Amino acid sequence: MLDHDHGDAPLVQADQERDDLVDLAMRQPGHRFVGDQELGLGRHGARQLELAHLDLRQVARQSLGLAGQADLAEVASALTILYGVETGIDLSRLTSLRRLGEDITRVYVARNKPITGDEVFNWGGLEIIVHELEVDPLLHWCIEPAVVGNEKRWIIDKTSGPWTMQTKLDELGIELDRDLVYDLLSAVKEEMDIHKRVLSDDELRELAERVREGAALATA
């Protein structure tokens, strides 16, 4: 048992001592070792954890505690996806677990947090990236986001072209004459310049309707 200095066992801090622990566990596979958040075993490497049969009981559910604390989503995903270790953890619920933790604690993780962040699978709206996903969904991501209960997100930004704009319209279920796609894209980029940010899906819907109405008035 490895614990804080206020516990019943000594605090292990140094990298060398962590290496000694792994060696010890490999020689004594019948023993179970419980790593505390201060131990840093999550950063020591998933492969060592697997080989040493370490029972890392106190990984953090979403790293809301001390710096260096191993995150459940990242450790479980690495063990399962990279090394085929059966952890007993349903990876598809990791993102919903993160959101539940936020609802309870009102402490919010970074939007680009690995594995479970809302924007971690958002690579922007560069024309080539969006359309390459149709060829190979893993071309730009190491995992399919659905595996961890997350989803791909992409936006219309300064790098987006008409094909990406059309794809976004299809995704949102917006019907717009093909000839107006360029007009909408120009209007979107003008709005981004004004607001200094990308537009939300609702704002895209509203702007598409304005472009459609403007075109109808022009031909009336």
With a pLDDT cut of 70, the percent of the chain lying above it is 68
pLDDT in tens, 10-63: 444 445 555 655 565 555 555 444 444 444 444 444 445 444 444 444 455 555
Q: How many C-beta atoms surround the C-beta of residue 210 within 10 A?
A: 12
- For residue 104, name the pLDDT band (cuts at 50, 70, 90): confident
Contact 65, 32 (CB under 8 A): no
Tell me, what's the pLDDT at 140?
A: 76
What burial class does residue 138 get, using C-beta atoms within 10 Å of its C-beta: 0-12 exposed, 13-18 middle, 19+ buried?
A: exposed
Section 170-195 average pLDDT = 93
Tell me, what's the pLDDT at 28?
A: 52
Section 171-197 average pLDDT = 93
Question: Which has more confidence, 47 or 132?
Answer: 132
- Can you give the pTM of this predicted structure? 0.61
Tell me, what's the pLDDT at 11?
A: 41
211: left (phi over 0), alpha (psi -120 to 50) or beta: alpha
Q: Is the pLDDT of residue 169 over 90?
A: yes
Tell me, what's the pLDDT at 21?
A: 53
Q: Is the pLDDT of residue 194 over 80?
A: yes
Tell me, what's the pLDDT at 26?
A: 55
Tell me, what's the pLDDT at 67?
A: 55
**Most confident residue range from 58-67, 114-123, 206-215:** 206-215
* DSSP characters over 151-178: --B----TT--HHHHHHHHHHHT----G
Tell me, what's the pLDDT at 124?
A: 72
Cα–Cα distances in angstroms (integers) from residue 106 to residues 31, 103, 149, 163, in the given order: 38, 5, 21, 39
